[in-house]
């Protein structure tokens, strides 16, 4: 199947009033992205700042770019002028830097707090108590140019569907608790970004509002070796 066919299949299957499809285009060429774009996709996710900057400059301006990878504070300035949503915010320090750069660009930048739900030590993210600590802090209350619109997480890379279901379910419970405690009257806090090609069906059943699909749309990724850091998050 072509990229356009794959994309249409996913759009039909996952997109509803409550669920958005993020096409994860990391390592993919502009041509591949344009094929998805021409088939109607407008939200694309990337995980390297340099690659994101290049693609933003070269591709249509109505694309909504999402940063889905680990973001270093010193690189926020490069994407602050255009980024639509930063999925992987995992520290107060990073949030403060995003706020600072958003201010410089006279914008408010939407962010998701990345929660650690996986049974692995390789994944980034915050523990429940760390999220509470950030949201309760005086430093957080001073931020004016970031808006927390929800949570993001990556499940354990396993074929054990029961385990994945439990992890996504825990995330949903956590989301509901945080919503109740901190964002009760905030209509913007509504996103749960979970689910990739292998586990998006379970993710949607467990309350995901944003699924991030890469290989299912574009095919297997070819790791490019010219990059400073070819590793994927």
Footprint of ligand PLP (CB under 6 A): 24, 26, 47, 68-69, 154, 196-198, 212-216, 232-233
Q: In the bound complex, what is the minimum distance in angstroms from residue 103's beta carbon to ligand PLP?
A: 27
Q: In the bound complex, what is the minimum distance in angstroms from residue 200's beta carbon to ligand PLP?
A: 8
Measured distance CA(26)–CA(10) in Å, rounded: 18
Nearer to ligand PLP, 65 or 143 (CB): 65
Which string of DSSP letters, residue by residue, matches 80-135?
Answer: TTT-SEEEEE--HHHHHHHHHHHHHTT--EEEEEEE--SSSSS---B-HHHHHHHH
Nearer to ligand PLP, 46 or 143 (CB): 46
Q: In the bound complex, what is the minimum distance in angstroms from residue 87's beta carbon to ligand PLP?
A: 7
CB 93 within 8 A of CB 75: no
Return the DSSP state at 62.
T
Q: In the bound complex, what is the minimum distance in angstroms from residue 216's beta carbon to ligand PLP?
A: 5
| Residue 126 dihedral angles phi and psi, to the nearest 5° | -100, 150
3 state SS of 164: helix
Nearer to ligand PLP, 144 or 232 (CB): 232
Measured distance CA(132)–CA(84) in Å, rounded: 24
Q: In the bound complex, what is the minimum distance in angstroms from residue 227's beta carbon to ligand PLP?
A: 14
Nearer to ligand PLP, 133 or 205 (CB): 205
Measured distance CA(42)–CA(46) in Å, rounded: 13
Nearer to ligand PLP, 63 or 154 (CB): 154
Q: In the bound complex, what is the minimum distance in angstroms from residue 231's beta carbon to ligand PLP?
A: 10
Nearer to ligand PLP, 96 or 197 (CB): 197
Q: Tell me the sheet residues that pair with 113.
A: 89, 151
Chain residue at closest Cβ approach to ligand PLP: 214
């Amino acid at each position: 199947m072509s990229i356009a066919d794959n994309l249409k299949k996913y759009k039909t299957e996952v997109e509803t009033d409550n669920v958005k499809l993020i096409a994860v285009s990391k390592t993919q060429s502009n041509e591949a992205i344009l094929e998805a774009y021409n088939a109607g996709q407008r939200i694309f996710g990337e995980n390297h700042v340099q690659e994101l900057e290049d693609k933003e400059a070269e591709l249509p301006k109505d694309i909504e770019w999402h940063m889905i990878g680990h973001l270093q504070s010193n690189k926020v300035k490069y994407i602050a002028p255009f980024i639509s949503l930063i999925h992987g915010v995992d520290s107060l320090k990073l949030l403060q830097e995003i706020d600072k750069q958003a201010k410089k660009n006279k914008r408010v930048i939407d962010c998701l707090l990345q929660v650690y739900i996986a049974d692995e030590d390789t994944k980034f993210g915050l523990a429940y108590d760390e999220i509470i600590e950030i949201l309760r802090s005086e430093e957080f209350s001073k931020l004016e140019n970031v808006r927390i619109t929800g949570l993001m997480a990556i499940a354990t890379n396993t074929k054990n569907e029961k385990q994945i279901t439990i992890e996504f379910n825990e995330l949903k419970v956590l989301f509901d608790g945080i919503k109740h405690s901190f964002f009760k009257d905030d209509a913007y806090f509504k996103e749960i970004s979970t689910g990739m090609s292998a586990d998006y069906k379970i993710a949607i059943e467990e309350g995901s509002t944003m699924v991030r699909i890469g290989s299912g749309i574009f095919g297997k990724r070819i790791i490019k070796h010219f990059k400073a850091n070819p590793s994927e998050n």
